[in-house]
Structure 1
Amino acid sequence: MSSNVSTPVLGPVAKAANKGSSSSTTTTAKNPAPSNEAVDELDDIPPLTLGVLTERDDKVDALKLVADSIAQQRQTASRSMVFHPLNMAGLAAALGVVYQLNPNRDIGMNLTLMSGIVMTYLMTIRYFTAQYIPMAEGLKWDWILPVNDDGELDPDAEEDTVIGAKYGDEMIGALVLRLVPPTPEAGSAAAAASTNSRKKKGSTAANNYYKGGHGVIRAWTTILRYRRRGVGGDMLQEAIQATRDRCGEDANVVFAENHANSIMVVHEMFNRPFRKAEQWATTALEKALANQESAQQKR
């Protein structure tokens, strides 16, 4: 007696055409070749490029992103003020006083008065956070040009390095890096060599001018929908590499104290979201520096 087959047949089974024959042939299904439509869809995906920007138009687009990040601080500050516990308590107290002082207890009158108080509350917050808009509009091209101690443009220094991330033709991230030469007060040989090379001309002398110095990040931002996706971290890695190519393998990179988003226009008790963002950025930079050092040790 024949028993049931315990092993299933994974491929399609085609029996012979002859009815009298008991033999069967098994054919294996082949993977279909990718269609032209699927290939075209992959070709339509724009490339993601990241590096030091050399064209003026690209630098202008990057500075526009920095200006947009300054303007977006108004929304963050407004949100912090609207939902701050102290402000919310004051608003609730004002609404309660209006309700108690209304002798007629008229619902329509109460709603009108309370709506007016809420509108006044929001307009006051809008007034105190409005300074971010002129700050964003004041960011011009000369912001990336170094100045001397007198506040005038330094003709001997080069403009800041602008690193950008582009998704196709769209600029989605920007980082502004300033290379700082070693200070003469340090009394080091690198500082002396840097001072002497400043008087010379040529690319070699320009590179020696920053030997022993460090990099300062003056702006770092990405478009909202591309944040927390690794684009900012890649720009930090590029900034570290650009700094160490010019200043030396051990050159450090830090955030500037007066970076583009450092000015706070509201009271300090409302700046908690900004301080938290600064701490997160510092942690991200420390992680990028650690990754760069580990990569150098592997080499």
Structure 2
Amino acid sequence: MSPTPSIHSTAPEPPTVELPQLRTYTAESEDDRVDGLRLVADSVAQQRQIASKMLIAHPANLAAYVLFIAILVQYMYKSFDDLLVLMTTIGGITMACLVAVRMATGGYLFLAEEVNWEWLGDDRLIVVKWGEEVIGALVLGWADDASKKKPGRRRRGKAVVRAWTVKLKYRGKGVGEGLLEEAVKVAGEKGADGIVFDRDHANSKRILPKFYNGFLDKREVRAEKALEKVADDKGNFRQRRSSPTWGSR
């Protein structure tokens, strides 16, 4: 006979015990600051992919490409023997277009290289860490001149978000909102009048003409609305967003 299990045997721990801890805090160690700054630079570089997709999939560009290929077929295709040359020519033209797209959006890589220690300066870098991995970063600065602040005095003016990003696979899970809440909390504790996105934040610059930037512009508007909502719900500022001078810096 097999022994009866004891009722005092240790029960298995729930699976959630094994999950890494999610933490949001101001980065102090060099490793955390490096990882957070790299995440911001990556978010700038990723705009190149978005801009490339906009160039390739834009209706005006697609229409121009199809029209050009149609004219080429009309001009070159006379018999079945011309098919190989025609297909080779179309392939070459397509590759040339892709190279042109790559060159047109390459400026985002140079913008990403500008996100360095000098760009960060003395601003606060807030990170979200999942276990040992930094998965989100926010750079919090000030709109006023820091040199005018007297020792021991609370900060005046508005706090500004100079960068806000989350790793791609963790987006849509509330990580970004947690970063905004921490930024609003810190800004309130420092005595800020309010908090807004910096006009020259890390992802604000555009390489392509305005005609192609619709998706990036809409994403920026959504980010501003998200910050406004968190500031209204969680903020402790002397000045509210309804004030006529809220947007001034």
Q: TM-score, normalised by structure 2?
A: 0.85
Q: Which residue pairs with 1:188 in the alignment?
A: none
**Structure 1 residue aligned with 2:209, among 258, 267, 285?**
267
Q: Kindly name which structure, 1 or 2, has the bigger radius of gyration based on alpha carbons.
A: 1
Q: Which has the higher contact order (CA 8 A, sep 6+)?
A: 2
Matched residue pairs, number? Answer: 229
In structure 2, the CA distance between the partners of 1:293 and 1:245, relative to structure 1 (3 Å rule), is closer
Q: 1:227 aligned to 2:203?
A: no
**Distance in 2 of aligned mates of 1:293 and 1:261:** 24
Question: Unpaired segments of 5 or more residues in structure 1?
Answer: 1-30, 146-158, 184-193, 295-299
Q: 1:256 aligned to 2:198?
A: yes
Question: Unpaired segments of 5 or more residues in structure 2?
Answer: 1-6, 237-249
Q: Which amino acid in the other structure matches residue 217 of structure 1?
A: V
**Identical amino acids, percent of aligned pairs:** 34
> Counterparts in 2 of 1:1-299, with a 5 A limit?
35-36=11-12, 38-39=13-14, 41-102=15-76, 103-105=78-80, 106-145=82-121, 159-181=122-144, 195=148, 198=150, 200=151, 205=152, 208-210=153-155, 212-248=156-192, 251-293=193-235
Q: Which amino acid in the other structure matches residue 94 of structure 1?
A: F
Q: Which amino acid in the other structure matches residue 166 of structure 1?
A: K
Deviations 1:90-118 (A, max 9, x none): 10011111101113352222211111111
**Distance in 2 of aligned mates of 1:260 and 1:293:** 23
Q: Which residue pairs with 1:10 in the alignment?
A: none
Judge conservation of contact 1:91–1:121 (CA < 8 Å) in 2: no
- Give the secondary structure class of the aligned counterpart of 1:247: coil
Judge conservation of contact 2:107–2:207 (CA < 8 Å) in 1: yes
- Give the secondary structure class of the aligned counterpart of 1:258: coil
The CA RMSD measured in Å over matched residues stands at 2.4
In the TM superposition, structure 1's runs of 4+ consecutive aligned residues that sit over 4 Å from their partners are none
Q: Which amino acid in the other structure matches residue 232 of structure 2?
A: A
